[in-house]
Each structure stands twice: as C-alpha cells, then as structure tokens.
Amino acid sequence: MLKEGSPFYLIMISIIAALGGLLFGYDTGVINGTQFYFSKYFDLSAAMKGWVVGSALLGCFTGALLSGPLSRILGRKYSLVLSALLFTMSAWGSGLPGFLPESVSLLVVFRLIGGLGIGIASMNAPTYIAELSPADIRGRMVTFYQMAIVIGFFVVFLVTYFIGSGQEEAYNVNRGWRLMFWSELAPCLLFFLLLFLVPKSPRWLMLKGRAEEALAVLTRVHGPEIAETEMQEIRQSIREERGGLSFKDIFRKSVLPIILIGSVLSALQQFTGINAVLYYGADIFEKALGFGQEDVLAQQVLLAGVNVAFTFLAMFTVDKWGRKPLVISGSVGMLVGFLMLGSTLMAGQVGLLSLIGILTFVGSFAMSMGPIVWVILSEMFPNSIRSIGMSIAVAVQWGANYLVSQSFPMVVESEANISGFWNGSLPYFLFIGFIAIIIWFTWKFIPETKGQSLEKIEHLWEERYGEI
C-alpha cells in the first residue's frame, strides 16, 4: 500500500487513465496498417477509402459531444469504463467484415462504435489526469496521455509489421488485416480491468457535493496539507455552481471566447496534417516516396519511433519551457519538414530528403501540437465549464480530423495535384498554410499556464473577459 502523497500513486493513476490514449493511438494506427489491404480486398475507390477510414471520426465527433453530459452524470472514471467497452466491441467487430454480408457497411458500423469510445476517452482521460495533478507537474502528467497515444501508434505498427511482414500480399489482403484489428482486444481488456483501481475525480465529486470523498481522494494523492489547500481552491472556484453550465451559457461574453480559443486550437492540431501522415502513411511511402511494398511497414515503425522519442522531449520540457514556446518552436519545425517534402515532390526528386522531411514534421509535431494541445485543453477551461468546454473543443478536433482524412486521398488523387505545377505536393503546401496560422494564433491568443493551478488559470480568463 502506497503512503499518502506518494508520487508513485499519482503516476499509476495517470498511466491507467492514459491507456485511453494508448487505445486512441492503437485504434488510429491500426487503420493505417489495415487500410492498405482491406482497400484492395473490397476494391475501394478513393472516396470510399476516405469514408471507411474517416467513419470512425464521425463516431469520435459524436462521442466527444456526448462526453460532456456523460462526464457530469457518470464522472470521469466511469465514462472511461464505458469507452473501454466500446473499444472492445469495435476491435472484435472490425475483423468480421468479409465473413458476413454487407461487409463494408458492417466495417463502418464497428469503426463508428470505436470512434464513440475514442471521443469519450479523448475528453475524459486528459481532463481526469489534470484534475488530479498538482500545478507544478501537471503538464508532464497530462503529457502521459499523448505519450500513450504515440506508444499506441508504435506498438500497433510493430504488431502489424509482425503480422504482415514476410507474408504474401494475398494473405494480408484476405486475412492479415483482420488479425491486425483483433490484436487490439488485449489492450482493450487491460484498460477496462485497470480502471477499477483508480479513484473518482475530486473536482467532479465536489461538483456533486461529495466533499468528504473528494478530500479523501486528494489526501491519498497529494497528502493532507496539500489536499486542504486544493479543497479550498476548488470550493472557491465552484462557488454556488453545481453540475456545470447549460448549453445556452456557452454564448455568454465571458465564456464564448474561451470556448472559441480552445476549439480553434483543437482544430488547428488536425489541420497540421498529422493524421493524413499517420492514417495514409502506407500510401505516402509507396506512391509519393517510391518505396516498395516490402518497405512500407518498416518505414511506419521508423515514423512511430520518432513520434515516441520527441514526445518524451515534450514530457520533460513542458513544465520547464512552458506551453507556448514548445508550440511555436515545434510549428516552425513542422513547417520546415513539409517544405522539404513538398519541394522534393514538386521537383520530382523524391527520396531520402523527402523521408527526412516527413520525419522532421512528425518529430516537431510530437514535441509541440501533439502533447501540448491536450495539456492546454485539459487546464484552460474553468471548473464550471470544463466538461462542456472540453467536450466542444474535442468534438471540433474530431470534426476537423474527419475533414482531413476524408479529403486527403481525394486531393492526392486529384488532377490538379497529380499533373502540372504541384506534381503531388499540393496537400503538403495546404498544411503549411495552416501551420503558419498556428504560430500566429498561439502567440496572439494562448496564455502561458505553466505552473498555474487550475483555479488561478480561471482568474487569468476572468481578467481578460470578465467573471465566468
């Protein structure tokens, strides 16, 4: 039994909650490894490929919208339990199409179910970690969530490489992609079981008027002295409010700017193009960069390894350097990476420099917009609007993700991109434009929240826009 205030207890809680991120990464990554093969199995057009890949994101969007009300009713912990059940259903069902009639439609249904789980987890997991973490290490603890996402990517790329490598293409087209989907069942069940070891969020308990339980959780996590201080700050911030603001309160002049800032930042994370690279990496490596099919899965493992390494860098610098410096410097790196890739494609000189460009982009994203956006979103919304604010911002993120994943294959295969001036580089220059907007938007609108308690961050917004 760990003693009260033991940092290992907080780390254990954060790792378990972050497994929702691992499943987010695993589920997102498995579509990368499988879509190359099931697209051939079902003979999908570019539009249909975008629909099957992007369908989960509609579930994510819906799940994120539902996550606010669910979180207020069930709490963060049991919302995550629900997400684990949805992940498990999706992993099992996604491998069935082809054995049953209406195969593509069935695959879409189970991808939508998995999307619901991702949407619920992507709001609740980072919020839960932020609500339990002390201010001086909150950034690092929330970064566990993004670290889990990229580890999920890395693990699934290793798994898909193990399943598909050395096999005839016909095997992977007919059977291998099903095993790739079913491999997700193991982490799904682990997440579900471990969630019963974590406590409820103290801030949610306070919103429900369960002060004694909240104090017990805070004491267990932080020790008695810090727990009392945290309780006072939570009481002050909640005031007379119980259960969160209603939907109409979003449009109050003191609330709407915060919601809009969080939502725009959330959407811009997707408009960097990261998930175009992660979802369609196999196609990019084979078609745009000229790698053979036998090299595609190995290149994905390299990409995932860079993702993990640079997320570690963010984890150990976010509470030292701050949120804004990491986002701005990482955005400059992303811009340079896509300039390298786009320029080599435009010049018809694809090869090593193109690969370095992709890896530079992925590494820069992993140290900035990947983890830091989740840190900022988890801490920027005041207690009274955290559930609804986070829910809207995450829903916007999934909506933007859907737009990118649905449109990317169509832009790639468009006449304008293939022939003439762009020579295959058009989508990457579009992403460059959005990355430039990120630099300006972060500098102009995002406050630095390093080392601030959640309640003090609320006062920062009140100084700008008035009492919440």
Q: What is the pLDDT of residues 206-226, one digit of tens each?
A: 888 888 999 999 898 888 878
**pLDDT, position 360:** 95
More confident residue, 187 or 44: 187
- Residue 278 and residue 182: Cα distance in Å, rounded? 20
CB 269 within 8 A of CB 397: yes
- Give, in order, the Cα–Cα distances in Å from 99 to each of 11, 93, 327: 43, 11, 46
More confident residue, 377 or 240: 377
CB 56 within 8 A of CB 42: no
Give 232's pLDDT tier (boundaries 50, 70, 90): confident
- Per-residue pLDDT reduced to its tens digit, 145-193: 888 988 988 888 788 888 887 778 788 888 888 899 999 999 999 999 9
Mean pLDDT of 235-257: 69
- Mean of all residue pLDDT scores within the chain: 85
Q: What is the largest CA-CA distance in the chain?
A: 68
- Residue 351 and residue 175: Cα distance in Å, rounded? 32
Give this prediction's pTM: 0.78
Mean pLDDT of 14-38: 85
Region class of 451: left (phi > 0), else alpha (psi between -120 and 50), else beta? left
Instruction: Answer yes or no: is pLDDT of 240 > 50.
Output: no
Residue type, 459: H
- Per-residue pLDDT reduced to its tens digit, 80-99: 999 999 999 999 998 886 56
**pLDDT, position 90:** 93
- 46-85: b or e for each residue (b if 16 or more CB lie within 10 Å)? eeebbbbbbbbbbbbbbbbbbbbebbbebbbbebbbbbbe
- Residue 409 and residue 46: Cα distance in Å, rounded? 6
Domain extents for the chain? 7-465
**CATH label, 7-465, candidates 1.10.1670.10, 3.50.50.60, 2.60.40.420, 1.20.1250.20:** 1.20.1250.20
Annotate 352-365 with DSSP letters as a single string: HHHHHHHHHHHHHH
Mean pLDDT of 434-449: 95
**pLDDT, position 247:** 64
Mean pLDDT of 385-408: 86
CB 427 within 8 A of CB 294: no
